[in-house]
């Protein structure tokens, strides 16, 4: 069940109603009814959706961090953050499509599919149940299969859609199979219940659980464009309409990261934090292979496609370091928001140029900066922001990610190498970003093919171009965003900080659950002591594992992970669902650091045969 007044349901109603109305307009529209009418309706629905999210945040009704409930979706700041990022990209796609797709028939279904895919993204961000997550995944993916092939007479578009569909079907099959394995092991599809059940899982079931986690990583890796699940990306982005390529690169990828964070990171922490090393290796491979492949491309869309692959590696750094540093997930979410704007603006700028010159070949970009000064300028700013050049917004998110890697070096020895790999890959990416900028500003102009004469004017010696107004409007917003949050990034940093839990919560979550289920086995005691020692080294605090039990730790804000029951959020229960009313609770407030720590001193005996853990029920 879902609260009727929750943010995800309100957004689903708004986008769903608009998405169903748009195709009906085609049956009654007049001949002078163009993309502008359908695009305006879709634009209004998306703007209203963002306004609803911002209003709920401003009212203080949305809890900070991540909330796990016994429902299929949770109204929390994490979901709101990702929803805003993805809806911004959807708005950019709709507005740019009004001009880019104006000669393509059937505008009603086109904008309807964008809205329906946006519903899937929003539901994915708020999901707390594997079944809902898979349903939302399909609702997001299926419309994009159609959108990729919307120019059905274009062979490249048909090829792009087929490859996208085949790889997408394979990824969906992996996710469904992983969910079936998890349900067979735990008896539930609720993520919170799954975490609790995996803690007390029989040792004989661990191979199946590991297989399920690997399948989840592979399935989500497809949408996140991680190596080696990236092979469909270049062909699909090249064949799809360029605004749809922006949607795929800057929005659906973020939905994949939102799902991966909830379903993979917590499962990884339950099993073994050393799974982080595997994600770190994938991050380095993704960054490096994406950048090296981009250096050899001659098509702007393929360059941006491989750049998108490499950018996924930076975001994966945050996921791999989440258990060890507060900055890791904060930097990852910050980069999610920045990348959504940077990458979408780069694709839309390429669409604006292609709308006039009729090609994505980089050789045709020679001297285009003199003829299309504004679009070329914003294209250059977008590329420099993607490279992490200060004082643009991309610099700050990469800086936080690399700082998190250095900060985690005191806990895991391999973490600083992620920062080194990220810096080297950022420098490597300048090789092809600077190449595009050189083509636009320093090479001699070439003649413009007579593709779209409505944008061309001037003498034969020096033709000038009227830049597409709607595409330019989208790019001007992106320019203000990239420069504005590059000069003053504090608001976005605070927003990302409020949307993720601290590393102390990550570390405490599985250990706290395990401490309530000690059966006196000596090996288990040693493992628990080792885990507590690791946590002590990472946080600079020591705890007596025989008498203290950490229940909730939140750095700088309210508890970031909450468990909500049928009657709402129960602040007196920890993640295992055990009541703390009978425990003695000490709360200390450090005024200088603004850190609130709540410690439950529930005593337990390590050799006790009874357990305070109550077996989770299936909601």
Question: Does position 31 have pLDDT exceeding 70, yes or no?
Answer: no
- Backbone φ and ψ for 456, nearest 5 degrees, come out as -110, 135
C-alpha–C-alpha distance, residues 271 and 188, integer Å: 18
Q: What is the DSSP letter of 327?
A: H
Question: Does position 474 have pLDDT exceeding 70, yes or no?
Answer: yes
DSSP-derived 3-state class of residue 613: coil
Average pLDDT of the segment spanning 518-539: 45
C-alpha–C-alpha distance, residues 360 and 353, integer Å: 8
Q: What distances in angstroms separate CA 493 from CA 331, 396, 582, one per listed residue?
A: 8, 9, 38
Q: How confident is the model at residue 291 (pLDDT cuts 50, 70, 90)?
A: very high
Supply the angle between the helices 77-100 and 469-487 in degrees, to the nearest 10.
150
| Ordered alpha helix ranges (H), 463-557 | 469-487, 490-498, 503-515, 522-539
pLDDT in tens, 550-578: 223 233 333 334 444 443 434 333 333 33
pLDDT in tens, 293-318: 999 888 899 999 999 899 989 988 98
Question: Does position 453 have pLDDT exceeding 70, yes or no?
Answer: no
- 11-15, 253-257, 329-333, 563-567 — most confident range: 11-15
Residues 6+ apart with CB under 8 A from 233: 225, 305, 306, 308, 309
Residues 6+ apart with CB under 8 A from 427: none
The pLDDT value given to residue 163: 86
Q: Report residue 472 as tokens.
A: 């330019």
Q: Report residue 246 as tokens.
A: 């922006």
Question: Does position 404 have pLDDT exceeding 80, yes or no?
Answer: yes
Q: Which residue has the tokens 């750094």?
A: 317
50 burial type by CB count under 10 A (0-12 exposed, 13-18 middle, 19+ buried): middle
Q: What distances in angstroms separate CA 372 from CA 149, 157, 380, 521, one per listed residue?
A: 29, 27, 12, 72
pLDDT in tens, 153-196: 888 888 888 888 888 888 888 889 988 888 888 888 888 788 77
pLDDT in tens, 64-84: 877 777 778 888 888 899 999
- Residue of 262, 258, 261, 494 whose CA lies nearest to 396: 494
Average pLDDT of the segment spanning 505-520: 38
> Angle 383-387-392 (CA atoms, 0-180°, nearest 5)?
80
CA 411 to mean position of chain CA atoms = 26
pLDDT in tens, 128-154: 888 888 899 889 989 999 998 888 888
C-alpha–C-alpha distance, residues 422 and 418, integer Å: 6
Q: Which residue has the tokens 């990852």?
A: 332
- Backbone φ and ψ for 549, nearest 5 degrees, come out as -140, 110
Q: Cis before residue 307, ω within 30 degrees of 0?
A: no
What is the helix, strand, coil percentage profile of the chain, to 5? 65, 5, 25
Average pLDDT of the segment spanning 3-7: 76
- Residue of 84, 238, 270 whose CA lies nearest to 154: 238
**Side-chain half-sphere CA neighbours of 344 within 13 A:** 38
pTM: 0.78
DSSP per-residue letters across 52-95: HHHHHHHHT-SPSSEEEESSSB---HHHHHHHHHHHHHHHHHHH
Q: How confident is the model at residue 456 (pLDDT cuts 50, 70, 90)?
A: low
Q: Cis before residue 228, ω within 30 degrees of 0?
A: yes
């Amino acid at each position: 069940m879902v609260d009727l007044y929750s943010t995800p349901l309100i957004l689903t109603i708004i986008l769903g109603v608009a998405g169903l109305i748009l195709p009906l307009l085609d049956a009654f529209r007049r001949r002078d009814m163009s993309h502008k009418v359908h695009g305006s309706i879709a634009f209004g629905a998306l703007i209203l959706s963002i306004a609803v999210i911002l209003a709920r945040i401003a009212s203080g009704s949305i809890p900070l961090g991540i909330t796990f409930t016994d429902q299929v979706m949770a109204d929390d700041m994490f979901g709101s953050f990702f929803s805003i990022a993805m809806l911004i990209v959807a708005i950019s796609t709709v507005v740019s499509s009004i001009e880019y797709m104006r000669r393509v028939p059937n505008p009603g279904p086109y904008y309807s599919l964008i809205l329906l895919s946006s519903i899937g993204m929003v539901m994915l961000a708020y999901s707390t149940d594997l079944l809902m997550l898979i349903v939302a995944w399909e609702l997001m993916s299926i419309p994009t299969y159609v959108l990729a092939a919307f120019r059905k007479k274009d062979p490249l578009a048909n090829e792009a859609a087929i490859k996208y569909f085949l790889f997408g079907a394979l990824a969906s099959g992996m996710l469904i199979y992983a969910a079936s394995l998890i349900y067979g092991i735990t008896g539930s599809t609720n993520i919170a219940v799954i975490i609790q059940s995996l803690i007390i899982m029989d040792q004989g079931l661990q191979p199946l659980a590991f297989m399920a986690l690997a399948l989840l990583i592979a399935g989500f890796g497809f949408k996140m464009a991680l190596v080696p699940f990236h092979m469909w990306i270049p062909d699909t982005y090249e064949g799809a309409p360029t605004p749809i390529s922006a949607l795929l690169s800057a929005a659906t990828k973020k939905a994949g990261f939102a799902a991966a964070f909830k379903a993979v990171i917590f499962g990884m922490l339950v099993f073994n934090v050393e799974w982080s090393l595997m994600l770190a290796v994938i991050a380095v491979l993704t960054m490096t292979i994406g950048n090296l492949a981009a250096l050899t491309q001659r098509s702007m869309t393929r360059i941006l496609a491989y750049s998108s692959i490499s950018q996924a590696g930076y975001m994966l750094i945050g996921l791999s370091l989440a258990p060890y540093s507060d900055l890791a997930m904060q930097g990852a979410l910050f980069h999610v928001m920045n990348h959504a704007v940077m990458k979408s603006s780069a694709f839309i700028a390429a669409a604006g140029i292609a709308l006039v010159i009729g090609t994505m070949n980089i050789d045709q970009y020679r001297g285009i900066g003199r003829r299309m000064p504004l679009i070329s300028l914003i294209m250059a700013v977008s590329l420099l922001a993607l490279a992490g050049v200060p004082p643009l917004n991309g610099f700050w998110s990469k800086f936080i990610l690399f700082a998190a890697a250095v900060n985690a070096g005191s806990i895991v020895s391999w973490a600083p190498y992620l920062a080194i790999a990220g810096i080297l890959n950022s420098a490597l990416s300048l090789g092809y970003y600077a190449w595009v900028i050189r083509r636009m500003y320093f090479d001699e102009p070439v003649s413009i093919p007579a593709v779209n004469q409505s944008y061309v004017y001037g003498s034969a010696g020096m033709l000038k171009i009227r830049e597409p107004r709607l595409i330019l409007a989208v790019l001007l917003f992106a320019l203000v965003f990239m420069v504005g949050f590059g000069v003053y990034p504090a608001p976005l940093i605070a927003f990302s900080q409020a949307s993720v839990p601290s590393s102390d919560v990550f570390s405490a979550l599985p250990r706290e659950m395990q401490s309530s289920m000690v059966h006196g086995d000596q090996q288990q005691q040693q493992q628990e002591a080792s885990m507590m020692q690791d946590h002590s080294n990472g946080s600079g605090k020591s705890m007596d594992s025989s008498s203290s039990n950490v229940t909730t730790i939140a750095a700088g804000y309210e508890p970031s992970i909450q468990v909500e029951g049928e009657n709402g959020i129960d602040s007196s229960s920890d993640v295992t669902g055990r009541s703390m009313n009978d425990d003695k609770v000490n709360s200390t407030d450090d005024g200088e650091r603004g850190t609130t720590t709540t410690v439950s001193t529930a005593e337990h005996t390590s050799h006790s045969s009874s357990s305070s853990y109550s077996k989770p029920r299936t909601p």
